[in-house]
Amino acid sequence: MSFETSQDPSIPALQGIRVLDIATFVAAPFCGTILADFGAEVIKVEQPDSGDSLRKFGTPTECGDSLVWLSEARNKEAITLDLRRPEGAEMFRALVTKSDVVLENFRPGTLEKWGLGFEELRQINPGLVMLRISAYGQTGPKRGEPGFARIAHAFSGLSWLSGEADGPPVVPGSTSMADYVSGMWGAIGVLTALRARERNGRGQFIDLGLYESVFRLLDEMAPAYAKYGTVRQRMGADTVNVVPHSHYRTGSGQWVALACTNDKMFERLAGVMEQPRLAADYPTSVVRVAHRDHINGLVAAWMNERSLQDVLAKTQAGGVPCAQIYSIKEIFEDEQFEVRGNLMQIEDPRVGALTLPAPLPRLSETPPTFRHAGRALGADNEAVYRRLLGLSPEDLQAARAARVI
């Protein structure tokens, strides 16, 4: 199969790409969510009876599936298939011959044990692209160890940086961040592999460890240690090479984030604070970092003497990047989120009204679309198996009776 070449902007960007999502939880499935948002035909393959554990993760709803499932399994068809049974493995191979991409996050070696590894599958589909996400990747001494996002945060070095200087390492915002980031890297890998396939006709696999997805985002930590032996420590809300670049409490009790990333920005802030001499006394980032506590103290005192509205008005007028630190309550009330359509209101036949994060990124000609929230377990068995494998109602009933689907 190949990308659509029509210039009709109503045709989704990834229409014509078929994806088999046999993964669980978030990381590899989130890659599928991204692809589905842009029109790929993503078929979610789950274990009969139990299904993906993501269905029970997070806030439960009246339909039995969680809010996380309804959001992150969006736009996917849902089928059941037991890959561990020979009959199920054979049906999966038949699906692979008609597909472009497989997404998986089993422990390395698991699919090979079932006769469904990449080398086996590429024999029946030379153009197959397979995304393989695991805790530590397909190689190395830790390849067989289990892991989740929290473990990836720890092993990648991110958790070490999270928290106050005199406190323990803490969760870096979201316990699932490595999963989502890995799904994004996975989508980049899949799309790159599909582009390469257009030139040479060959598929390939993408090998990604959860920890690698996070480690790649940690700016200069690796070169700084290699060249100077620098081991960055926890700094709370501060930033290693820039001051003031932190969180401050206003006089009315709310918190704001301030980002003075260069000398010009600090000069503007000094003018906003009506203390222009500060820009002359502390003209460079190096000087300001050397006087971190003093600079932070001056900014904190200025913030504490003013209401949130006053702080935001003055910094905005002065061209200084500053924003209130939002909870989800403020996000739902903010006009920017509303105008940009970041919160998508939909009606689901199983649970009624839902508000979900809108898909990203925006494309001017072929934007992402929403078709439905996460489906019930096996909801599309009949449609998918009849369409792709030509199974009759009797075939389907026999497969159900044998617990293959």
**Positions marked active-site:** 179
* CA–CA distances in Å: residue 218 to residues 138, 209, 362: 22, 15, 26
For 328-339, b/e burial (b = at least 16 CB within 10 A) is eeeeeeeeeeee
Q: Is 13 in contact with 38 (CB distance < 8 Å)?
A: yes
Cβ-based neighbour number of residue 128 at 10 Å: 23
Structure-block tokens of residue 196: 């390469």
What are the backbone dihedrals phi and psi of residue 386, each rounded to the nearest 5 degrees, phi first? -75, -40
Residues in the chain: 405
- Cβ contacts of residue 246 below 8 Å, gap of 6+? 236, 237, 238, 239, 257, 258, 296, 299
DSSP structural state of residue 247: E
CA distance 329 to 314: 24
CA distance 20 to 28: 11
- Cβ contacts of residue 190 below 8 Å, gap of 6+? 31, 35, 101, 103, 129, 131, 206
Q: Is 21 in contact with 43 (CB distance < 8 Å)?
A: yes
Q: Is 28 in contact with 185 (CB distance < 8 Å)?
A: no
CA distance 6 to 14: 11
Q: Is 108 in contact with 157 (CB distance < 8 Å)?
A: no
